Amino acid sequence: MSEIIGAPPGRLKAFAYAAAEKAPVYRVIMGVLLRAKERFVFRMRPHEILHEVHKCGLTPAPDAAEIESALEQLCEWGNLEAHPDTAEVHTVEDFYKQRHVYQITSQGESAELALNDYETGRKAELQTSALLDIRELLDDLRRMARDDAAPDPGKVHRDLLALRACFEALKAGAHTFMSMLEQEIDLQFDPDAQVDAIVARRQRLIDYLERFIAELVIATDAIVQSVRDIEECGLDRLLEQAAARRAADAVDPDPANVERIRGRVRAEWEDFRSWFASRSDRLTNADALRSRARAAIPALLSAITRINDRRNDRIDRFNDLRVLARWFAAAESDADAHRLWRTAFGLHPARHFLINDATLDEHEGRDVRPDTSWLDAPPLKISSRLRLFGALPRSGRLSRVVDRAAEKKKLAAATQDEVQRILTSPARFGAGGRMRLSDLETLESGEFELFLDLLGEAVSANALLSEGAEVLSSDGTLKVRLSPTGDARTAVIHTPEGTFEGPDFWISIEQNSIDEVTA
């Protein structure tokens, strides 16, 4: 067997041994050579391989000829390489006698590792511990980025490697867990299964999701803030040191290879950053994971509710069909089965037609029995309007028209007040000039409502407001700019409804022109 069934010709030969007739022998040989490579034994002779295969306890135990044939086949598939064995040559006859040592190839090693990974599987879990490790590693990198002295290149390299490992573990576990969760949600209810165990497992999943979502929300904000601090304080210096450390171990230290290493280090950081940090053009992977996890909770609750309903009331479609199938199987004759079929699925006289009185009188005058076949019964004359629209017009008194003049007047007055408030409030906020929120001190009710609307628009545009934001009001008539002051001051604004307190920002609000609004 030189090809996997269904694979394109000439491709995937490295996996052919997994589906071959003697797959157990091939797998044991590949495992022996893979473990030998871990001990830095890269080439083995056939009798050494045979000895290790016998130690594995394969039943029935292969002989030397079978091992030789398997080694040749693995070389043909590209999993092994055969090299002439000249280490034990003492005579001319030994030189002319073919002897080989075998070494596992890179594609053979990759295939065996992939099969081992497939058999063991990945852990289906949402790793809150990985989130904590990522936060600690970022805090360490942030301290080194802020330090004026040159950080230790080895420590920077280790932290970035550990960060990458935690990040990959978090992604792999999340992908596997969410895939398992989708299967759990779509799992059909089996009345013969242990219902209590299923309900308990799904309740544990709900609690598990709630804990992870809470941890993810907190960790994402901290991670994004740490990433931005590192990028502001000296990310390029850290990445350059990590790339130099990695390039020092490269076999080929030419500038092109070093540049590729730099690009790889930069790409790994960008991949990590884009997974957590939000962008205006797309949803981050962390946000998508949080959204899917939140949506899974009501889906699991609905599944538990369906299970409880079916457990309390055993009459459902699946149970009915099983009972009906047993009735068909127990039918004594075909005639009984046909009668059962007509009773369960047969058509009955239709009583839902809406026809006029004259047609009904004519139909009743003929004395047609209810069990008369549709083929033998006289036709019913149905209005063409009923065929087109499905209902006949009802005649009767028209509904009294409700006078809404008072409500319209009240709505127009409220709209006028809103327009006047929008036109007059910008002057209170500096009429386009920049000012601090703390300088406002007091606001009237209408001004405070407008202020909260504009502040909400700005905050939604940039969740952390560390880079400032510029948004338009909902009607497009006002433009607000909000940027951090950088001095960690607190703004306190007194209103008739209470006191507003929060971080201080620079704010400027100006009115758009008619052309800008229409554009």
Residues 35, 184 within the same domain: no
Last residue of a domain, one of 276, 300, 324: 300
Last residue of a domain, one of 69, 92, 120: 120
Query: pLDDT of 310-332, one tens digit each?
Result: 666 555 677 788 888 999 999 99
Determine, yes or no, domain membership for 204: yes
Residues 38, 110 within the same domain: yes
Residues 288, 174 within the same domain: yes
CATH value at residue 51 = 1.10.10.10
Residues 111, 134 within the same domain: no
Residues 93, 144 within the same domain: no
Residues 192, 218 within the same domain: yes
Q: Is 407's pLDDT higher than 80?
A: yes
Q: Which domain holds residue 267?
A: 128-300
Task: List own/partner pairs for 92-97 with CB under 8 A and 24 or more apart.
Answer: none
Integer CA distances (angstroms), 516 to 451, 511, 512, in order: 21, 10, 6
DSSP state for residue 333 in the 8-state scheme: S
170 and 125 Cβ atoms separated by less than 8 Å: no
Determine, yes or no, domain membership for 231: yes
Q: Is 420's pLDDT higher than 80?
A: no
Q: Identify which of 499, 438, 432 has the alpha carbon closest to the alpha carbon of residue 470.
A: 432
Q: Is 276's pLDDT higher than 50?
A: yes
Determine, yes or no, domain membership for 337: no
Amino acid letter, 327: W
Average pLDDT, the chain: 77
DSSP state for residue 476 in the 8-state scheme: S
Determine, yes or no, domain membership for 225: yes
Last residue of a domain, one of 86, 103, 120: 120
Residues 106, 139 within the same domain: no
- Residues 508, 511, 512, 513, Cα dihedral to 10°: -140
- Residue 337, token pair as written in the block: 């089965």
Of residues 459 and 304, more confidently modeled: 304
Structurally, the chain folds into a number of domains equal to: 3
Determine, yes or no, domain membership for 385: no
Residues 213, 245 within the same domain: yes
Q: Does this model's pTM top 0.85?
A: no
Query: pLDDT of 362-395, one tens digit each?
Result: 767 777 777 778 778 777 666 656 555 555 555 5
Angstrom distance (rounded) from CA 159 to CA 203: 37
- Give Cβ neighbours of residue 307 (< 8 Å, ≥ 6 apart): 189, 195, 198, 199
Residues 209, 97 within the same domain: no
Query: pLDDT of 465-502, one tens digit each?
Result: 556 667 666 556 667 777 777 777 888 888 877 888 87
**Sign of the alpha-carbon torsion through 137, 142, 145, 147:** negative
User: In sequence order, what DSSP letters do the residues of 47-79 get, joined into one string?
Assistant: HHHHHHHHHTT-SSPP-HHHHHHHHHHHHHHTS
pLDDT category of residue 102 using cuts at 50, 70 and 90:
very high
153-186 vs 128-146: helix axis angle to the nearest 10? 150
Query: pLDDT of 117-132, one tens digit each?
Result: 777 766 667 888 888 8
pLDDT category of residue 71 using cuts at 50, 70 and 90:
very high
pLDDT category of residue 75 using cuts at 50, 70 and 90:
very high
Q: Is 400's pLDDT higher than 50?
A: yes
